[in-house]
Each structure stands twice: as C-alpha cells, then as structure tokens.
Amino acid sequence: MKLVLLGAPGSGKGTQSQLLIKNQGMIQFSTGDLLRKAVSEKTELGLKAKDIMDEGHLVPDDLVIGLIREKLKGVSADQGVIFDGFPRTLPQAEALEGLLKEFHFSLNKAVYIKVPQQELIKRLAGRRSCSECGAAYHLHYNPPKKEGICDRCGSHDLIQRRDDTPEVIQERFETYERQTFPLIEFYQTRGLLAEIDGTAEPEDTYQLLLRSIGLGSEAFHSS
C-alpha cells in the first residue's frame, strides 16, 4: 500500500499517519523528517540542503526527490508507505509518479481529509505549548486544568506558535489553496482520490480512512 495524505493545515494528516504506523505497520515519508535526518547524518544531499536552508531558501524539488529516492531504495513492494506533506504541488506530484514507476511501485490511493476552514482555524489558533517543558495544549479540546498554567511544570508561560496566529494561518491557507488544492483534481482524474470527513473524532476519521483504502473497519484493532 502506497498512500498520499492530502489536507489543509490542521486537517489531521499527522494524527492519521501515526495511527496507520501504529496499527498497520506502515512507514511515513515526511519531507521535513527526511531533511532533518539527512542534515544530521551529513549525507551529500543533507549537506546541500543545509547550505540552502542556512541561506533562508526553500529546498528545491530535485533535492527533495533525491531524498525520497534514497529512502525508497530500502522499501519492499508489499510495504506500506504514507507520503505526508509531499507532494505539495503539481510538479512534485508528477515527479513522485515518475519516481514510483522507477521502483516499479504504484500509488494505491490519495486520501483527502476534508475539514471546513472555520474548523481548521479553530484547531490551529487554539494550540498552545509550554515554553518551559514543551507540554502541548489546546484552548478548546485539551486546555490546562488551570487557565494559563502548565499542568506538568506549573509554568505561567503558555505560548502560541507564530504560524498559528490568525495572520499566518490565513497565509498558510492561501498557499494551500494556490499550490496544493489542485492536487485533488490531479488524483481525481487518475481515479485515485478518496475524500473523507475530517471533522469527526480522530478514531472515527481513522475508520473512514481505513475503509477508503480498502482495509475495512476490522483493521482498526490490528497491530
């Protein structure tokens, strides 16, 4: 099973990836993780990426594709892979298509986790973390027991990430609409798109995800 997860920021792609990893034994291809690993291991591609990132530039597609190619060398035909956060653009989707063919793989599904924008804003804008110990909270779904105070260490400094402020959230959505939303049509025309409701509880969304990729609801409890 080779799977692409699509969805706007805050749609729950990361949560669903972790459930698939835990319950189905799949592996996750996250470009951010791949870049950090390559940089820390000082591989040839990692050193190139570091130089680019140190200058404040985005890592180009050919370098990201190179990282994925290296990672795919250790993947078997029957191993489950989740592409999370990649592709983000049509050129990346086309490059991934060619890369999978290179290894005689095929993409089974592209699952679009659909969540209304107002709900996404609520999810993102409500996130907080403790500046002292890193504990994570959400003002609506997982607030601290005492308002403004960390349950774990007692710190009064619960902060909001810069990219979770309303202004930056709007920028992230505009980027998503411009670059990533066209991927939905790209995979739809190839008969690979499945759309699921991402507004439910994570476990219920996971059940929908399993059915959309043909694993069935009974797979929820497998490991």
**Distance in angstroms (rounded) separating the CA atoms of residues 208 and 214:** 10
Q: Which of 37, 122, 172, 211 is catalytic?
A: 172
Q: Which of 146, 152, 161, 178 is catalytic?
A: 161
75, with CB counted inside 10 A (0-12, 13-18, 19+), is middle
Count other Cβ atoms within 10 Å, centred on residue 144: 18
Q: Which of 2, 13, 109, 123 is catalytic?
A: 13
152 is catalytic: no
Q: Which of 88, 114, 122, 211 is catalytic?
A: 88
Q: Residue 89 contacts by C-beta under 8 Å, 6 or more apart in sequence?
A: 61, 179, 180, 183
211 is catalytic: no
The beta-strand segments (E) located in 89-140 are: 109-114, 127-130, 136-138
The beta-strand segments (E) located in 59-107 are: 81-84
123 is catalytic: no
127 is catalytic: yes
Q: Which of 2, 123, 127, 128 is catalytic?
A: 127
Q: Residue 211 contacts by C-beta under 8 Å, 6 or more apart in sequence?
A: 217
88 is catalytic: yes
Residues designated as active site: 13, 88, 127, 161, 172
